[in-house]
Structure 1
Amino acid sequence: MHSWPVPEFTTLPGTPQQLHLYDTANRTIAPVEVEGDTAGMYVCGITPYDSTHLGHAATYLTFDLIYRQLLDNGHKVHYVQNITDVDDPLFERAERDGVDWRELGTSQINLFRNDMELLSVFPPQDYIGAMEAIDEVIDMVQKLLDNGAAYVVDDAEFPDVYASIDATVNFGYESNYSREQMMEFFRERGGDPDRAGKHDPLDALVWRARREGEPSWDSPFGPGRPGWHIECSAIATNRLGKNFTVQGGGSDLIFPHHEFSAAHAEAALHSERMADFYVHTGMIGLDGTKMSKSLGNLVFVHKLVEAGHDPSAIRLGVFAGHYRTERDWSDGVLTDAADRLTNWREALNHPGSRELADALVATLREHLAADLDTPGALAAVDEWASASRGSDEETAGELVCAALNSLLGVRV
């Protein structure tokens, strides 16, 4: 599946700062060490039954910043993202709206691509739908069955395949949740703890046996379709190897999705840890209330752009808060971001000295290297824009424009 165009990126003068990120598993901020010259990054993609809202955008903008800092550090980036184009929410939405689930998925994927291009987000080199990876999932499920890490439930009608939480000795290392917390989130987030025939209520589905009215594919263990978590396990490791640099997504994916996707891969491939860093973004609220489909208070990227809002202002609105915090979106946030963007553009009419421009680039790098301190980075540009910058030098403006575009993805 094709992704979207690559935005412009300029190699900047001066000394890059090594990126440091917070790892959910270790609960610490640590330097990102890249083995070889290429960092592998896997970010969970959309289930295409609705278009890109601010919660989605905030997640992908975060990993776009990581991509940009890795490039600035001199690394290549192999970025992989999936699309869960076979899943219950997609089928339910299509049935509700009276449309074919494939057509619904295609329309929302196209809209997502357009939104990402508008927001100047770096695309994945591998953009893979679940339907494209069926054979890869079947292969991984078979590995789990062969080594005793998975089993078929004793159910003549629906012989689903489950992976055991006992298959890896370090299960739970990513989330650090108690069993009680795991049970709560498992039940809330697509798990089936009450399924009869499971060895443990927390065992996760890796192959769903065929049900009437659902798509299915043949496999050695019966016709069916992939479970949610193992889809990401297979897509990620088949392109990035059994260990890579960053796995990421929203904080609501910490458990069960990311815990299990890592566990499935580690059990199938006999590895200790799938990713060096598990990176998660905070949730976005609207006017003080959690943004959710059930509440009907989603803010959509394409509607903001259609209303005349600059995509760079949307980026700045998202970056006004730190990526790991629970943040709020409002008309005021967007207005402040638009005003900030205007101030920066006006300041570039009189960019001042190259010395101050070089200092600004160094400060931007310092903040972004410190676990993506975007509030500090934006404040540094504000300070530059409001200061007395001395006599104008043409290269100063060129450098500031290149830095804002390359490091922050903001077009001025």
Structure 2
Amino acid sequence: MTVTTETDVLIVGGGPAGALLGTLLARRGIAVLVVERQTTFDREFRGETLAAPSVDSLRGLGFGPALDAHGFLETEAVTMRMEGRDVLHVDYRRFPIGTLPIDIPQPSLIGIFHDAATALPSFSYGAGTAFTDLVVEDGVVRGAVLKEADGTRTTVRARLVVGADGRFSKVRRAAGLEADVQPMARDFLSFKLPRPAGWKHEAELIADGEKHIMVLPTFPDLLRIGHNLPKKGLSQLKRAGFESFRDGIAALDERIAPLVHEHLTSWDDTSFLEIFTAELDRWSRDGLVLIGDASHTCTPILGQGVNVALQDAIVLTPVIARALADGQGPVTERQLAGFVQQRRTHKRFVTKFQRMQEDALSKNSPLQKLARRARYRLLDKLPVKYKMFDRVINAPHEIDPVDRELGRKAPAVVAG
């Protein structure tokens, strides 16, 4: 399709944050164009766990019927096992929020948002459309140059450009917004296996020294396994051979060993993710704002990335609506300042907790492992563990009353 050449809001990136923001803005009658360089909703490694507050928010925004029609898996607890010993168990059913996290494929979630948006007259979508550069006049962002699927270059003018194009954001780079990128000690390799009948609906972290895996039941009938490896250690892992890698995974959890040997057959069955955090002094400038991983890259620990990104979209929607209503010009950095401050505070808290967890999981000497198990066992016996985890993973999400009412009135749409 040929993208429109003028709109109120241009969103670059059609992942969960961009797709949700586009839908919420279009519900308000705001002209919005979402462009995505990929032609489908498929993604490689992406978080698929929605925390309980995200589930509540999406239901409050009217997406509950589509979620229910699609189906999902509720995660009831998280367990940590270290050197063969259970050290921590958190039952999500004990949190006061009263909602469980769910696992749903990210392409399906994006599809739910997209299908709700396509029925709205002010919404446009450009699949296979890549961001090329920003249009800047007198220091103000006025739009972007896009390359469509057929190679056509189109200039789109907008009152606000939203960079929702991920951890390696081209919009961020074009805007000159510098990120402080801090690599974590390890990277991440993931794969999926068939889920045996009767497997508990619990997330599990299994560690032996500095080696560990995450075992996550995933919808509809799979296990998602995440394996941490030393930073830039993938080439060394491959030099040791696939059999060595597979045997190492099997040794960490004897329950999945037969599944690993039967179904994990080559490196092609795995997906690699480089782990780092990114912090920005500025998330915006006149005519532009960044959201999601483009402005605050998280690590996979506790699956917070997608949830923080969704909350960005929910909080930003009324801010954009008010700014557009205030005049005819571009949305200014001043008008976006409150949003940036609020979301930065929450993201920094999440990152601090993730770095503490990462540090604990990197311990390998006998004394360090003993001390680590003792700390987690002590935490497990204290009621404070529920307060601590509740604060991190169940931080309340705000929904503007206008968006809640529009969600209540929105027709039920089931993703195709």
Give the TM-score normalised by the residue count of structure 1: 0.22
Give the TM-score normalised by the residue count of structure 2: 0.22
Instruction: Return the structure number with greater strand share.
Output: 2
State the structure with bigger RCO (CA 8 A, min sep 6), 1 or 2: 2
